[in-house]
Structure 1
Amino acid sequence: MVILKKVTVIALMLLGLGIYAQENRDLDNYRYTDKRGVNVFEAPKSTETSFKGLKVRFGGASTLQFQGIDHENSDLAGIELQPIGSNFNLATANLDIDVALYDGVRMHLRTFLSSRHHHETYVKGGYFQIDKLDFVKEGFMEDFMKYATLKVGHMENNYGDAHFRRSDNAQAMHNPFVGNLIMDSYTTEVGAELLVQKNGFIGMLGVTNGKLNQSVDKTSEDGSSGGASFLAKLGYDKQINTDLRVRITGSMYNTGYVPNSYLYAGDRGGSRYYGVMIADAATADNFRSGRYNPNLKNKISAIMFNPFIKYKGLEFFGTIETASGKATAELENRTANQFAGELIYRFGKEENLYIGGRYNSVDSEEMTGEDVTIKRSQLVAGWFLTKNILMKMEYVNQKYEGFATTSTLNQGKFNGVILEAAISF
């Protein structure tokens, strides 16, 4: 706790100095963490430059929820859920450091100061983003780099579009809802991604080492220290006219073997639905409560399609996802499918108010053989008080079907209201 307090004090001092010293905090080819980043996916690409020397941008985020949720299950096997009531959740906080190192070269680093899973401050990940190769030679490959962006680091991988709209611990400004998807496809791995954006067309190829927790231990089937994961994305994103924007992408994530795949278990920030469907709060590692991990532990192939349409203030975002794979001990692959559709209407001055709903369902085969289904409905209302402050109120209703009578989730359900205040700068 003493170390955490010291780190927090230092971070706050750095943030204060950064804010005081920076008259212009804008960076080139940067997705803003405030309201300006809403409905932005990959970082924008421009050949214009504002670089005048090394520039450090300190930023951060903080969220707090008041939760009023009830839960229940069948209790057929005598598995009683822990009692939960209405109260505040743990306040979460992020620290972001973005540095313009050279013309067209930027570094990003995100640290979780407070999160549901970890008591200590720890680094989520970071990367270099390269939009120009002038550090090699002025004008080097400039015709190609007009459209290309290279990212290298231990970073959040660009699989699908849903991860651009999710809450990342305290960074909740871009998520119109409070909770993320049931099958929350998100992980941070060491690798590189090459993104090309031209005339609305999007193409990305990436490769990683398939590991969230880095290690040189030889734990793979062939005696190596692990396998590799491959990513790809293809899509189209165009502002058709002043009223209509259309985007559709298809993404793929594939790994032949990894010691432990975290694609659906990688969010150390944890679920927003605290304590739900947990039998024993004292012993359970419950930071993923309310989510579902199909546990395709060692081999996985996943595909996601995401349509996005915005007409004036009305927007639709969809997720169609299928993932197949297995643990090494299993003989055959299992499959999990996810569907989500959300409809948001933004209105008011500069669309600072919104209302909306989301339906999310998952069908999966458990390792024990059961075919299970999880269904979630969410209703939400939000208000951007300023571009840096967002208030949300969400009603959530989630049901579990097909789980074994010995499972905590047998005939389970939870529902209730969550209020969230989010700040990002």
Structure 2
Amino acid sequence: MKKTLFTLIAVLFFGSISFSQVRSYDQRGINKFESSKEDLVKFDKLKLKIGGSFTQSFQTLKHSSTTTATPGIVAIVPGFNTANANLYFDAFLADGVTLNMTLYLSSRHHNEAWVKGGYIQFDKLPFLKSGLLDKVMEFTTIKVGHMEVNYGDAHYRRSDNGNSIYNPFVENYIMDAFATEIGAEIDFQYKGFLAVAGFTNGKIKGDIAKGVVYAGGSDGKSKPVILGKIGFDKQLNKLIRLRVTGSGYYTAGSISNTLYGGDRTGSHYFGVMDNALTTSTAFSGRFNPGFTDKIGAVMGNLFVKV
């Protein structure tokens, strides 16, 4: 398959507010991972940052197939893809407390506007007035909400609908381990060492309905997801930065899990190796193994910057 894909990426912010607790949505966010505990912005008053990301692709991809089945792959020609756009709201609520909400304004899979998710993040707990907790929070970050699952490091470099600036390849991995789930996460960072622990509902949305019961399989009840990450991330000298992490994700049965199918926006490769151009074929070039109930997954990541 020969391919050429030109992508225009734009990132817009209103105001010059910068929160070190929140990853920048422009080029400053490249090669950023968990929220830094260094250089936290001093709180002086309530602030709101509104931002947007926009991706417009021009596609000149070619594909072919020897199959005689009907229908065959759809005929595609060079042209512009549907533009993708995100809208961000980041609020600085109190000293060390931020709130995020992200909306998808347009995407391949959903052309209408809808909410990706949101969360509250604590880098400090000043309202508890505890010296012990203040000390603990010097190395700790707490996030609670409906948010990206922090499994592996690949989700920090992927294209997220209208925001493609973190990803030099425009499209994501064939098996795209990405999902938004309801839960909580605790990050601990100390002198380069990193540990993450979290739990979620294991689903892309809230769900109280009992699942189908079948012998030797599901009991129809949703089990939580337990996830974790350990690693090391440090600037070793002026030239070399090293990051190595190992992550795990496990659920004994969450009925409708979407770890490898949690992206609701769609692929940036339109119509490639598809037999139709519909919303049901919005994930061209990806493989979803269909793990929806009991899942155990591990991921290792190595990052070296010279």
- Structure 1 counterpart of 2:152: 160
**Number of aligned positions between the proteins:** 291
Segments of 5+ residues of structure 2 without an aligned counterpart are 1-10, 213-217
* Alignment partner, residue 286 of structure 1: 281
- C-alpha distance in 2 between matches for 1:208 and 1:278: 33
Aligned position for 1:255: 251
Stretch deviating more after TM superposition (40-49 or 192-201)? 40-49
Q: Which of the numbers 287, 294, 298 marks the counterpart of 1:299? A: 294
User: Residues 102 and 135 of structure 1 are in contact (CA less than 8 Å); yes or no, is this contact kept in structure 2?
Assistant: no
- Counterpart check, 1:129 vs 2:113: no
AA at the equivalent of 1:222? D
The answer to whether 1:59 aligns with 2:56 is no
Partner of 2:196: 204
- Alpha carbon RMSD of aligned pairs, Å? 1.7
Is the counterpart of residue 86 in structure 1 residue 78 in structure 2? yes
Report how far residue 50 of structure 1 moved: 1.6
CA contact (8 A) 2:179 2:260 kept: yes
Give the conservation status (yes or no) of the 8 Å contact 2:224–2:252. Answer: yes
**Aligned equivalents of 1:140, 1:29: Cα separation in 2:** 21
User: Residue 19 of structure 2 contacts residue 40 of structure 2 at CA under 8 Å; is this kept in 1?
Assistant: no
Q: What SS class does the counterpart of residue 280 from structure 2 fall into?
A: coil
Structure 2 residue identity aligned to 1:300: I
* 1:268-279 correspondence runs (5 A): 268-279=264-275
Residues 213-232 of structure 1 aligned to structure 2 (within 5 Å): 213-219=205-211, 221-224=218-221, 226-232=222-228
- Answer yes or no: is 1:104 the counterpart of 2:96: yes
What is aligned with 1:359?
none
2:263 aligned residue (246, 249, 267) = 267
Greater strand proportion: 1
Is the Cα–Cα contact under 8 Å of residues 40 and 96 in structure 2 kept in the other structure? no
Q: How far does residue 74 in structure 1 lie from its aligned partner after superposition?
A: 2.6
1:141 aligned counterpart, secondary structure: helix
Matching of residues 23-422 of structure 1 within 5 Å: 24-46=16-38, 48-137=40-129, 139=131, 141-219=133-211, 221-224=218-221, 226-281=222-277, 285-311=280-306
Q: Which has the higher Rg, Structure 1 or Structure 2?
A: 1
For the 8 Å contact 1:133–1:139, the answer to whether it is kept is no
- Does the 8 Å CA contact 1:82/1:279 hold for their aligned counterparts? yes
1:47–1:146: 8 Å Cα contact kept in structure 2? Answer: no
Partner SS, residue 202 of structure 1: strand
Shift of 1:49: 3.8
Query: What is the rounded CA distance, in whole Å, between the counterparts of 2:132 and 2:93 in structure 1?
Result: 18
Instruction: Tell me the percent identity.
Output: 44
Counterpart AA for 2:275: A
TM-score normalised per structure 1 = 0.66
Residue deviations 1:85-121 (CA, integer Å, cap 9, x gap) = 1000001110000001111110011000011111210
Stretches of 4+ aligned residues off by more than 6 angstroms:
none
